[in-house]
Structure 1
Amino acid sequence: MDVAENLIAAVLGKAAEEALETAVQAYLQKKISREDFQTALLLVIVKMMGDMNRKLDDTNKKLDDVDRKLDNIGKDLAEVKQILAALNENVAQTYEELAKLMANLMRRSVRI
């Protein structure tokens, strides 16, 4: 293996930033040709794009999870709203019944 092949193998096996530094140093020290340097840079760019794509996929998954959780919260809030509406109706009915009872008690106490 010559230096260029070693560099390309190193680029494929390293983190993108480290691979970029290795490629630049090899080119500056004239250990590789311009074409090999360009190939190494292209591989580094592809590697960086792959890393970025993985990060974006992870972020998308997290956003999907948040979206599902927000949907669940929305459903829960709708359910709570229905429960509160029913409770409010029950309170209103109870108040009406209590008012009738009080009126009835007052009528009876007046007769006695």
Structure 2
Amino acid sequence: MKARHKTMLDGIQQAIISGDAALALSRIEALARRFDRDRPDPETRADMERTLLHLRRLAEDSARGTQRAIDQIKDILRNARMLQTYDHRGQRRQTPTDAVLPQRF
């Protein structure tokens, strides 16, 4: 595998790990354009496919982790909206929570 290809793959991995989907996508597109120009040999192609499979699994794991975090935040907000407190007179009060759900992608 050429050093330039390895560098590009490492850049894709770093973008995925950092959660920057737009950067990862642009780097993947740049790698695809590079492959169109370079036409890797079968041995290099096999190495690249293994590396790309690893990156795909990494991205899928990242997406699952992000979705779990979003679900947990939704649960926390739903529970916070249902909190009921009592004031000093014993009156039950509901505390509204108008928090906006964060979105990463």
- TM-score normalized with structure 1 length: 0.48
Q: CA deviation at 1:6?
A: 2.7
Q: CA deviation at 1:10?
A: 1.9
1:74-89 pair list within 5 angstroms: 74-76=82-84, 83=92
Match of 2:36 in 1: 25
CA RMSD of aligned residues (A): 3.1
- TM-score normalized with structure 2 length: 0.50
Q: Would you identify which runs of 4 or more consecutive aligned residues in structure 1 move more than 3 Å?
A: none
Structure 1 residue 49 corresponds to structure 2 residue 49: no
Q: CA deviation at 1:53?
A: 2.0
Structure 1 residue 36 corresponds to structure 2 residue 49: no
Give unpaired runs (5+ residues) of structure 2: 13-23, 94-105
Q: What is the percent sequence identity of the aligned residues?
A: 11
Q: CA deviation at 1:24?
A: 4.0
Report the AA paired with residue 43 of structure 1: T
Pick the aligned partner of 1:69 from 77, 86, 92: 77
Alignment length (residue pairs):
76
Give unpaired runs (5+ residues) of structure 1: 85-112
